[in-house]
Structure 1
Amino acid sequence: MSDAQKRVALFVTCLVDLQRPSVGFAAIKLLEQAGCRVEVPRAQTCCGQPAYNAGDRVTARELARGIITAFRGYDYIVVPSGSCAGMLRHHMPHLFDDDPNMRALADSVAERVHELVSFLTDVLGVTDTGATFNGSVTYHDGCSGLREMKIKQQPRDLLRAAGADVKEMAEPEICCGFGGTFCVKYPDISVRMVSDKTRDIVATGAETVLAGDLGCLMNIAGRLQREGHATKVRHVAEVLAGMTDEVPPIGEVR
């Protein structure tokens, strides 16, 4: 059985489910185009990252137990978010360091977790999604996607294959200031960080800013709007799936 024929479970993420379902549909479209059999386990919940980051290991462990049960048996678990993927792959297993049996089950799930764009390129060998995008974009490297899931060149290569004019920021790897609960705990610092990020984005002259994490994108979109900038904001999956005519940019209503 080839990789493209194996069972793929989509981990939707809370923000995609509640705020931007089009990202989930884009992910499914991209995976099915690549030949995957995609399923969306109904029992999935939050990845546990907010609780984990807040030090609430009890809640994080309970969520992890549910995830382990819901995603057992799949060949791959694909996530359209570098931060949620990083939580599941790198942090979730350590919630069970004191329980060898659960740790083994968590490791089994974690080793099958992949971020969406990385899965398409690094596992399935996709070099062109078939989408066409005639415009200029700049790409924000989300912290977890970059540092935990090693996502850097993959989205840029697929965007260029689609015809996008990729204009790099001066500092694309600098945090946008969202950081999950960080923006709530330290709002003043967060605002300064996202303001620096939007300044970098606007300086590129790109029409659209893209990223692979909806939290980052919502934070950036809100700041761009408050500052009066016209830069569009989208999840990279929507562009690579050719869905930009179907759904408005983040923060806009049609």
Structure 2
Amino acid sequence: MNVQLFVPCFVDQLFPETAFNMVKVLEKLGCKVSYNPDQTCCGQPAFNAGYQDECRAVASKFLKDFQSYDYIVAPSGSCTGFVRNYYGKLFDNSAMHNEVKQLKKNMFEFTEFLVQVLNAPDTGATLEGTATYHDACGALRECGIKEGPRKLLSKVKGLKLNEMDDCETCCGFGGTFAVKYEPISVGMGEQKVLNAIETGADYLVSTDLSCLMHLDGYIRKHQKEIKIMHIADVLASGW
């Protein structure tokens, strides 16, 4: 099975090891993985800030970079959800309508691809400790991803999964929201971290590193005893 990687901005610039771990898992499960080095952003930051024309320019490049019938897999529910749910509006009534339609069919978030396409809930990972899972808004609300990540985590040997209170509540990042409304964003992040700590978890896991980066800022500043991990890093552990 041929798979193209889309590596979001946060992962590319700040957490590249997660992209490598995603490749590691996909190749172990029999996928032929390729990466187009010309790829850039999906355009979501510009769109959320109100710059639709600039976003359309970036999205046009995305469509060009991923002109293929291969599956496109990304370690981000946020980016995946944006492409699926908003590209149709950006290119409505345009010559790129068919390309967008095909792209939306091919685009998958990483855990969604493992569970729904590969039907491979067990990657053979081993990680000793306790984890709690944060439902990132992009994954949960834009892509409908809920049970898949939990199914994958339940198969990790040595790992216990404890649910936190308000696991579906936003962490407070929200891209530019964290900049424009810093006190609210920090308060939401604090509550999320405290809820995670109350479970006794060693690891705070999610599908989206944007959320995890935000939460890790609070964790580091207040020296809390919990570690963030993208689910791809968990699923590549121990082998």
- The correspondence for 1:16, drawn from 7, 11, 20, is 11
Aligned partner of 2:70 in structure 1 is 75
- The correspondence for 2:80, drawn from 75, 85, 93, is 85
Q: What is the aligned-residue RMSD (CA, Å)?
A: 1.2
Give the 3-state SS of the residue equivalent to 1:133 in structure 2: strand
- The correspondence for 1:56, drawn from 30, 33, 51, is 51
Distance 2:233 2:192 in 1: 22
Unmatched segments (≥5 aa) in structure 2: none
**Counterpart check, 1:171 vs 2:179:** no
Displacement after TM superposition at 1:75 (Å): 1.7
Aligned partner of 2:111 in structure 1 is 117
1:217 alignment partner AA: L
The answer to whether the 8 Å contact 1:8/1:74 transfers is no
Distance 1:74 1:241 in 2: 27
Give the 3-state SS of the residue equivalent to 2:96 in structure 1: helix
Encode CA deviations 1:135-187: one digit per residue, 9 max, x unaligned: 10001000010111121111111111112100100111000000011101111
For residues 1-254 of structure 1, the aligned pairs below 5 Å read 5=1, 7-99=2-94, 101-163=95-157, 164-242=159-237
Distance 1:170 1:104 in 2: 42
Query: How many residue pairs end up in the alignment?
Result: 238
Encode CA deviations 1:84-115: one digit per residue, 9 max, x unaligned: 1111111122101141x212211211221000
Give the 3-state SS of the residue equivalent to 2:57 in structure 1: helix
1:104 alignment partner AA: N
The answer to whether the 8 Å contact 1:80/1:213 transfers is yes
TM-score (normalised: structure 2): 0.96
Encode CA deviations 1:47-86: one digit per residue, 9 max, x unaligned: 1110010110111101111111110114211010000111
2:123 alignment partner AA: T
2:214 alignment partner AA: N
TM-score (normalised: structure 1): 0.91
Displacement after TM superposition at 1:201 (Å): 0.9
1:122 alignment partner AA: Q
Aligned partner of 1:251 in structure 2 is none
Encode CA deviations 1:7-54: one digit per residue, 9 max, x unaligned: 211000101100000110011111111111111111211111100101
The answer to whether the 8 Å contact 1:9/1:76 transfers is yes
**Structure 1 residues 114 and 107: CA distance shift in structure 2, 3 A:** same
Moved over 6 A (4+): none
Aligned partner of 1:249 in structure 2 is none
Distance 2:121 2:200 in 1: 26
Distance 2:200 2:217 in 1: 18
Give the 3-state SS of the residue equivalent to 2:87 in structure 1: helix
Give the 3-state SS of the residue equivalent to 2:149 in structure 1: helix
| Percentage of identical aligned residues | 44
